[in-house]
Chains A and B, each alone.
Chain A
Amino acid sequence: MSKAIFIDPKETRKSGWITFKDIPVNQYSKSIDDEKMNFSKEDFLRIYRDMAIIREFETMLYMVRTTGEYEGITYKYTGPAHLSLGQEASAVGQAYILDKDDYIFGSHRSHGEIIAKAMSCIQKMSDDELVEIMKNTFGGAILKVVEGKQKDKNSVKELAIDFFIYGAMAEIFGRENGFARGLGNSMHVFFTPFGIYPNNAIVGGSAPIAIGAALYKKVNKKKGMVICNVGDGALGCGPVWEAMNMAAMDQFKTLWEEGYKGGLPIIFNFFDNQYGMGGQTNGETMGYQMLARIGAGINPEQMYAERIDGYNPLAVIDAIKRKKKLIEENQGPVLLDTVTYRLTGHSPSDAETYRTKEELDAWKAIDPLETFKDDLVNAGIASREEINEIRQYSKELIFKIFKLAIDDSVSPRIDLVKNPDFIGNVMFSNQRIEKMEDRECDVLIPKEENPRVKQIKNKIRVGVQGDKPVSKIKTFQLRDAIFESIIDKFYADPTLIAYGEDNRDWGGAFGVYKGLTESLPYHRFFNAPISEAAIVGSAVGYALCGGRVVVELMYADFMGRAGDEIFNQLSKWQAMSAGVLKMPVVLRMSVGAKYGAQHSQDWTSICAHIPGLKVVYPATPYDAKGIMNTALMGTDPVVFMESQKIYDIGELFRKEGVPEGYYEIPIGEPDIKKEGKDITILTIGPTLYQAVEAAKVLEQKYGVDAEIIDARSVVPFNYEKVIESVKKTGKIVLASDECERGSILNDFARNITELAFDYLDAPPVVIGAKNWITPAYELEKYFYPQADWIIDAIHEKIIPLKDHIPLNNFTRLEQIRLNKLGV
């Protein structure tokens, strides 16, 4: 959305044709002789060496996994082994010109890519650089194991190769010396000092993350490009298309400011091994026939798509060289269809019922390890003996490292007996970092001149004055509180960016960002396509590269569209990296109201269920600003729930109102909104206001003095205050707008029961929304918990109230009946 772009009906309705440019298919045709001027003998042999190392690495895993031994040494490994045997030339060719500033993201089948990338980096880095990296990795723990075990004691590069192979293998075998302490395993090996970023076991999972990394490079003007390595099977996944589409957004070229103009620096590289598990992408499960074709569907540049021969390392090198140049000219994104073939099954359990022996033999006959060797010998680059020596070296290397990696005395696993909190300690990074980088913030005007900031200055920062409510228009509302916190951060952390649907210009569908556009250039604040997976996934990539980001899903209901990105990516990468990566992402989600079944669901509990996410749901302006400040100061992913019901609410609880200055409210601390002595009401989110209403009736009509606690946070959650309250009152009702079944409140109730059992006068009672669809607005009062529900439930289940006539059925029989029916 931008007024800068005129949508001309004449232009839009004009007759004509869309024309396409030809997409090159395997156009590389140079021989070794042709390339002699570009590659030295060492270069050629190094290409072969890297392919040989990968081949041996994967062979080792294949042997261990299928026969339980390698080179006469038995070892039991039952973890995943998605091997890239046969795909070595593609990997080595891709990595050949890349350095540490080029980031690669991969798939479950990425051993080859990471080894190739590491070898390439080691080749390009200075000895000092390498030594520093090795020393700094886990305090030199990996280095210590391999140090001194090289043939050439003075060769830092040889040491670095051992170091990397060992770190990767230890990771695959789940050892503490692995690059992620063994918490990542085979499908997730990565090592950021060499520009190797997380590999993803979810097919296509890397695509949205990779565009976030590209965004990070672009926005923060970082060197290098990003390659998203996924398989051809990933083209069946929506998030991959979302990522390609978002990477190709016109605004990069049309609206972004000078210096930031141009496409994202990313290559979507499809290692097109012809199969998605067993499904043949050409001829069976897809319709494109040749993968490169799809580039034509994304943008006029057709993503500079090209099919290249992944069985020829030189063809791949050639392509990457050309594409890198395009990227440097801000012509991204680029699509590469790197044709290859895996010579073993999808995994060791694959019976390969989907392909014939003839097909396999035909590919084996052109195995690059043999054909490239022949080519080198035939071209007189090296003798067969020389090349065999390299093969021998690779075998010795892998065997040497294998022995170290499986030796429990040098490669133990993390000791969860001695250190039971090890994994718990890496679930969150819990750091406090004001700005992710120390430099000037790129803004358009001083904060004081921002129109919204000026408007807020005139607002009354309390919701009631005396007994009189302040009018909505004059009150400092909850939406103002969120805005205030976020704009503050935009002027403090230069890496902070925010995006989502209709964020810029519109100011967010509910006006939270109104006025933010005036302060921020496009590259810090822009509109995303309606692509929830790409929005959240890219935030993950942006953050794990080192930036801070706030993304928004317009409605919590759209979370399903970003399921993998929230549940498998945002939540997990801190722990899957054993704390190496940080994830300073605030995911704003608004819970709808008045909008029916697909736009009015409170899904806080779904987020709370997933380990690794912090989940907050402030219900007052004071809390919203304080908690957002904390979220934006931290380094963890925070799901920040907002309610459309109360965006316009003023501060009703804190007499002093909402401070203009900076303050933080710790995440995880509930707040007593009203003290009382007879019964505790714990709420999450806007149900707080129903509780307040109920408390008034309880007091006036029944003489019951309720204490109201606002959870504010759901994960983490400190029960101490609640337990203290329950010790006092002996009774607790828990209420929120989430559907009752599976609501996190049931967890709360269980914990409270366990922690305060002897103090309870009745079992904690959970009140949620009905286990229905959210009906039309006019019927919402029958769906969401109301004050009278709270009172009725108290009467029926906790403490019969004198002369109370319940309006709702909270009897046991009804409870059993409804559960029987599943509603």
Chain B
Amino acid sequence: MAIPVKMPKIGLSDESAIIAKWHKKKGEQVKAGEVLFTIETDKSTFDVEAEVDGILLDVFYNEGDEVQVLTDVGIIGREGENIGDIIPSQGKHKSQSETQKQQVSEAKSIEVELSLKDAAEKADSDLLTRVVEKGAVKISPRARGLAERAGVDFRLANATGPEGRIIERDILALIEKGPVFTPAAKEEYLKKDMDLQLTEGTGIGGRITTEDIQKNSEEQEVTKAPLMIAEEPDRRETIEKPALEELRKGVKYKEVRFTNIRKLIAKNMMRSLSTTAQLTSNASFDATEILAYREKIKANGKKYGLENITLNDMVLYAVSRTLPNHPDLNAHLVDETMLIFENVHLGVAIDTERGLMVPTIFNANLKSLNEISREVKQLAEQCRKGTINPDYLKGGTFTVTNLGAMDVEHFTPILNPPQTGILGVCSITYRPRPVNGQYEYYPAMGLSLTFDHRAVDGAPAARFLKDLKTNLENFSLLLAR
């Protein structure tokens, strides 16, 4: 019997993926376990293997096509088998909108199955749900007309009418507080059907201009929810718009499109900043002890079979041991509910060619310094290669990011919601301090803690920093514990 080959759903937040390469051609023999095609998601590249033996009877998408997850992309079966009922819409391709509609319902049912364990993904799902509801939006004719005349997207209005209906006052509120378009931009926007929360107007009176739209649409092409029902051409072909051309006439420039991961980062960062109340506290600690420890490792680590434990690994270790005493920072904030985690799952920001990635060291508080060091190295490697299992790119309860190697003295890391804290590790500078009436210099390493003030107040956050500082300054004692 012919078996459809589906676009796998790799991470829960994945809605679609791009077929990077077909390793088998239509009509070719495949064996179970052979790589059938490679997909590229926001976060990684992934090989999809054939699950059964047979002939690749048909493929529905070409390389470069963006395909919704769980969509049939091809069929494996016996020669000459009737596959009519598997081929989408009895034809070669399901229209994109149909596929999208189908995905809406699937996405929704999946959303329902979300458990607390997967709360990390909930933020994404919320976006999805919100968009799903937009499909059946209730709005009074008057409100719709007003929105149209005013150039605001009623889907962004907060419905306060009976039975969740958007009524006039909601649009008025949106006009007052929400984004307003220039007429041309509105047309553009409707065509592109984008998520406006990411868009800020640069026009007169904060109006969103076509340029804003253009900028935004480039950011959002893939991350955008798949359920906008508009029938539109492949968006990746619509980069250049006349207005844009006009604007850039005579200026030499090179255009570099966002990669998927860039888009995701951009989206996540924006969402982080727009949906949380984050602020950063800076501190520093005396790194004398960890520097000394680092020297020890360098000198004798190998003999003891230890990894090349870095300063950052030590910070990670210290964080994993400090956090259990500060549960509000080892937590997720979802819908005004704090999910306090028993163990520490440390996200570690890794700079890769493709952009920032944050793999997770699960149960870091239960792991030794050496184990942590080893795991970080492995994960970083996989990230750089793009082969990391997406399951490792989620589930963090606190993140550590390090710009110390780049001589950054302090910065404001951006939270990775729904986490409530992220620690930025900075470079070491030398600072004077009075000792016995004389100033002496000591190596001071900067720590920048960004936390969500909705979850944690300033003092408890500072207490965490203070504890962390103490632990790091007495690292050997900490190790002994």
Residue A618 CB within 8 A of the other chain: no
Pair B167/A762 contact, Cβ less than 8 Å: yes
Q: Which of B142, B162, B165 contacts A758 (CB 8 A)?
A: B142
Cα(A762)–Cα(B160), bound, Å: 12
Cα(A758)–Cα(B162), bound, Å: 18
Cα(A798)–Cα(B168), bound, Å: 10
Cα(A757)–Cα(B140), bound, Å: 9
Pair B163/A759 contact, Cβ less than 8 Å: no
B169 to chain A, nearest CB (A): 7
Pair B167/A796 contact, Cβ less than 8 Å: no
Cβ contacts under 8 Å, B142 to chain A: 730, 758-761
Cα(A179)–Cα(B140), bound, Å: 53
Pair B145/A800 contact, Cβ less than 8 Å: no
Cα(A759)–Cα(B146), bound, Å: 9
Q: Give the interface centre of B142, B143, B161, B165 by most chain A CB atoms within 10 Å.
A: B142
Q: Give the interface centre of A730, A761, A796, A798 by most chain B CB atoms within 10 Å.
A: A761
Pair B140/A761 contact, Cβ less than 8 Å: yes
Pair A762/B161 contact, Cβ less than 8 Å: yes
Residue A797 CB within 8 A of the other chain: yes
Cβ contacts under 8 Å, B140 to chain A: 730, 760-762
| In the complex, chain A residues 689-737 whose Cβ is within 8 Å of any chain B Cβ | 730
* CB < 8 Å A-B pair total: 37
Residue B141 CB within 8 A of the other chain: yes
Cβ contacts under 8 Å, B141 to chain A: 757-761
A805 to chain B, nearest CB (A): 16
B139 to chain A, nearest CB (A): 10
Cα(A798)–Cα(B167), bound, Å: 9
Cβ contacts under 8 Å, A762 to chain B: 140, 161-162, 165, 167
Cα(A798)–Cα(B162), bound, Å: 6
CB nearest to B162 among chain A residues: A797
| In the complex, chain B residues 118-160 whose Cβ is within 8 Å of any chain A Cβ | 140-143, 145, 160
CB nearest to A796 among chain B residues: B162
Pair B162/A761 contact, Cβ less than 8 Å: no
Cα(A798)–Cα(B142), bound, Å: 12
Cα(A800)–Cα(B163), bound, Å: 10
B197 to chain A, nearest CB (A): 25
Size band of the A side of the interface?
Answer: 10 to 19
Cβ contacts under 8 Å, B161 to chain A: 761-762, 798-800
CB nearest to A797 among chain B residues: B162
Pair A799/B145 contact, Cβ less than 8 Å: no
Q: Give the interface centre of B145, B168, B169 by most chain A CB atoms within 10 Å.
A: B168
CB nearest to B171 among chain A residues: A761
Cβ contacts under 8 Å, B163 to chain A: 812
Cβ contacts under 8 Å, B169 to chain A: 799
CB nearest to B141 among chain A residues: A758
CB nearest to A795 among chain B residues: B162
What per-residue 1/0 map shows which CB atoms of B162-180 lie under 8 Å from chain A? 1101011100000000000
Pair B168/A730 contact, Cβ less than 8 Å: yes
Cα(A798)–Cα(B140), bound, Å: 10
Cα(A670)–Cα(B143), bound, Å: 27
Cα(A812)–Cα(B162), bound, Å: 10
CB nearest to A762 among chain B residues: B140
Cα(A478)–Cα(B162), bound, Å: 40
Cα(A399)–Cα(B368), bound, Å: 123
B136 to chain A, nearest CB (A): 17
Pair A800/B160 contact, Cβ less than 8 Å: yes
B167 to chain A, nearest CB (A): 5
B195 to chain A, nearest CB (A): 26
A759 to chain B, nearest CB (A): 5
CB nearest to A753 among chain B residues: B141
Pair B145/A759 contact, Cβ less than 8 Å: yes
A729 to chain B, nearest CB (A): 9
B223 to chain A, nearest CB (A): 34
Cα(A812)–Cα(B160), bound, Å: 17
Pair A761/B168 contact, Cβ less than 8 Å: yes
Cα(A799)–Cα(B161), bound, Å: 6
Cα(A45)–Cα(B242), bound, Å: 101
Cα(A501)–Cα(B276), bound, Å: 78
Cα(A761)–Cα(B162), bound, Å: 11
A442 to chain B, nearest CB (A): 59
Pair B162/A800 contact, Cβ less than 8 Å: yes
Cα(A796)–Cα(B162), bound, Å: 6
CB nearest to A763 among chain B residues: B140
Cα(A730)–Cα(B161), bound, Å: 13
Cβ contacts under 8 Å, A761 to chain B: 140-143, 161, 167-168
Cβ contacts under 8 Å, A760 to chain B: 140-142
B310 to chain A, nearest CB (A): 58
Cβ contacts under 8 Å, A800 to chain B: 160-162
| In the complex, chain A residues 755-776 whose Cβ is within 8 Å of any chain B Cβ | 757-762
A432 to chain B, nearest CB (A): 40
B288 to chain A, nearest CB (A): 61
Pair A758/B160 contact, Cβ less than 8 Å: no
What per-residue 1/0 map shows which CB atoms of B57-95 lie under 8 Å from chain A? 000000000000000000000000000000000000000
B143 to chain A, nearest CB (A): 6
CB nearest to A759 among chain B residues: B142
Cβ contacts under 8 Å, B143 to chain A: 761
What per-residue 1/0 map shows which CB atoms of A498-535 lie under 8 Å from chain B? 00000000000000000000000000000000000000
What per-residue 1/0 map shows which CB atoms of A779-804 lie under 8 Å from chain B? 00000000000000000111110000
B267 to chain A, nearest CB (A): 34
Cβ contacts under 8 Å, A757 to chain B: 141
A582 to chain B, nearest CB (A): 44
B351 to chain A, nearest CB (A): 50
Cβ contacts under 8 Å, B168 to chain A: 730, 761
Cα(A8)–Cα(B406), bound, Å: 124
Cα(A812)–Cα(B163), bound, Å: 10
Cα(A760)–Cα(B168), bound, Å: 9
Cα(A759)–Cα(B163), bound, Å: 19
Q: Give the interface centre of B143, B145, B162, B163 by most chain A CB atoms within 10 Å.
A: B162
B162 to chain A, nearest CB (A): 6
A216 to chain B, nearest CB (A): 54
Q: Give the interface centre of A797, A798, A799 by most chain B CB atoms within 10 Å.
A: A799
Cβ contacts under 8 Å, A812 to chain B: 163
Cα(A457)–Cα(B52), bound, Å: 105
CB nearest to B170 among chain A residues: A761
Q: Give the interface centre of B140, B160, B161 by most chain A CB atoms within 10 Å.
A: B140
Cα(A799)–Cα(B143), bound, Å: 12
What per-residue 1/0 map shows which CB atoms of A377-390 lie under 8 Å from chain B? 00000000000000
A760 to chain B, nearest CB (A): 5
Cβ contacts under 8 Å, A796 to chain B: 162
CB nearest to A794 among chain B residues: B162
CB nearest to A730 among chain B residues: B142
Cα(A760)–Cα(B146), bound, Å: 11
Cβ contacts under 8 Å, A758 to chain B: 141-142, 145
A797 to chain B, nearest CB (A): 6
What per-residue 1/0 map shows which CB atoms of B430-461 lie under 8 Å from chain A? 00000000000000000000000000000000
Cβ contacts under 8 Å, A798 to chain B: 161-162
A550 to chain B, nearest CB (A): 45
Cα(A312)–Cα(B74), bound, Å: 102
Cα(A32)–Cα(B145), bound, Å: 88
Cβ contacts under 8 Å, B162 to chain A: 762, 796-800
Cα(A760)–Cα(B163), bound, Å: 16
Q: Give the interface centre of A730, A797, A798, A812 by most chain B CB atoms within 10 Å.
A: A730
- Contacts A/B (CB < 8 Å), 25 sampled: A758-B142, A758-B145, A759-B141, A759-B142, A759-B145, A760-B140, A760-B141, A760-B142, A761-B140, A761-B141, A761-B142, A761-B161, A761-B167, A761-B168, A762-B165, A796-B162, A797-B162, A798-B161, A798-B162, A799-B161, A799-B167, A799-B169, A800-B160, A800-B161, A812-B163
**Given A761-B140, A762-B140; 17 other pairs, CB 8 A cutoff:** A730-B140, A758-B141, A758-B142, A758-B145, A759-B142, A759-B145, A760-B140, A760-B141, A760-B142, A761-B143, A762-B167, A796-B162, A797-B162, A798-B161, A799-B169, A800-B160, A800-B161
| Interface pairs A-B: 4 shortest CB-CB | A761-B142, A730-B142, A761-B140, A761-B168
